[in-house]
Amino acid sequence: MFADLIRRMTAPAPDRIPDADARLALGALLVRLARADGHYDPIEKSRIEAILRRRYGLSDASDLRTQCEALEAEAPDTVRFTRAIKDAVDYDDRLAVIDAMWQIVLADGERDAQEDSIMRMVAPMLGVTDQDSNAARRRIENAG
């Protein structure tokens, strides 16, 4: 179903992807993070939907979340998938994704070692500095 999108994103020299595809790719990364600890809890699903609604001005994001879940299941390993997003999505959008990822990590009130590991790996692969990632984490922690 998503083979064409994955093929375009992982091409040797990917073009910028259309906004609709970027939504799916970025949402799929949130799903991958939420599933990292082996528990994909309703609070994480709800948080992903809230992020997608806010970010894209949607009244309902349940269908988009479902599509993101399907893309995540078909996407290549996290390293290749994340690098593909870096090459295909503008920095501001990638920074906003880090912010959203911290919202997912902190959604259940626990920082799981597997989720922390993914955050340490993904931020630099997205081209986001440690300082920007840490600032995003502090914003989310202080807002909670």
Residue 95 forms part of a structural domain: yes
pLDDT tens-digit readout, 18-61: 777 778 888 898 999 899 888 898 999 999 999 999 988 999 99
Dihedral of alpha carbons 96, 44, 51, 90, sign: positive
Rounded Cα–Cα distance for residues 25 and 91 (Å): 14
Residue 13 forms part of a structural domain: no
Residue 3 forms part of a structural domain: no
CATH value at residue 33: 1.10.3680.10
Residue 45 forms part of a structural domain: yes
pTM reported for the whole predicted model = 0.80
User: Token pair for residue 63?
Assistant: 């269908």
Its domain, for residue 76, covers 18-143
pLDDT tens-digit readout, 106-128: 887 778 888 888 888 899 989 99
Residue 90 forms part of a structural domain: yes
Mean pLDDT of 80-100: 81
- What is the count of structural domains for the chain? 1
Q: Quick one: pLDDT at residue 14?
A: 61
Residue 112 forms part of a structural domain: yes
